[in-house]
């Protein structure tokens, strides 16, 4: 198993529960055997939060991905380490939007 990270877009099934936002994006960190194994894990994690997967921008092995901003490097390295130590999907902060035009 390897730590993967993904940038996913989702719809919110119950907008009032999310301050009337209708969708959003989030980085997710998880352990999987390969990219194809990661997809249902991501889908299940989203469904568990009453969210529906609409797009996957990317899924890739994390492998200490290089970041240009030191604070970003520290944050995402720590999320990847948390995913390595867990069998749960680790979420970054959600970026939600109130309409599809944003």
33-49 per-position pLDDT tens digit: 999 999 999 999 999 99
pLDDT of residue 101: 63
Per-chain mean pLDDT for the chain: 93
Residue 46 belongs to a domain: yes
Residue 78 lies in a domain: yes
In a domain, 79, yes or no: yes
Instruction: Classify residue 54: in a domain, yes or no.
Output: yes
Instruction: List the domain range (segments joined by +) for residue 12.
Output: 2-97
Q: What is the number of structural domains in the chain?
A: 1
For residue 50, tell me if it sits in a domain.
Answer: yes
Residue 82 binned pLDDT confidence (cut-offs 50, 70, 90): very high
Whether pLDDT at 102 is above 60 = no
- b/e string for 29-52 if b means 16 or more Cβ within 10 A? bbbbeeeeebbebbbebbeeeebe
Look at residue 20 and tell me if it is in a domain: yes
Across residues 16-26, what is the average pLDDT?
Answer: 90
Does any domain span residue 43? yes
């Amino acid at each position: 198993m390897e730590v993967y990270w993904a940038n996913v877009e989702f719809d919110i099934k119950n907008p009032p529960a999310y301050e009337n936002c209708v969708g959003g994006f989030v980085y997710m960190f998880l352990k999987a055997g390969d990219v194809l194994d990661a997809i249902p894990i991501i889908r299940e994690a989203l469904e568990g939060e009453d969210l529906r997967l609409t797009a996957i921008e990317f899924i890739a092995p994390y492998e200490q991905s290089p970041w240009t901003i030191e604070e970003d490097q520290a944050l995402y390295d720590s999320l990847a380490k948390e995913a390595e130590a867990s069998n749960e999907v680790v979420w970054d902060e959600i970026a939600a939007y109130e309409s599809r035009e944003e």
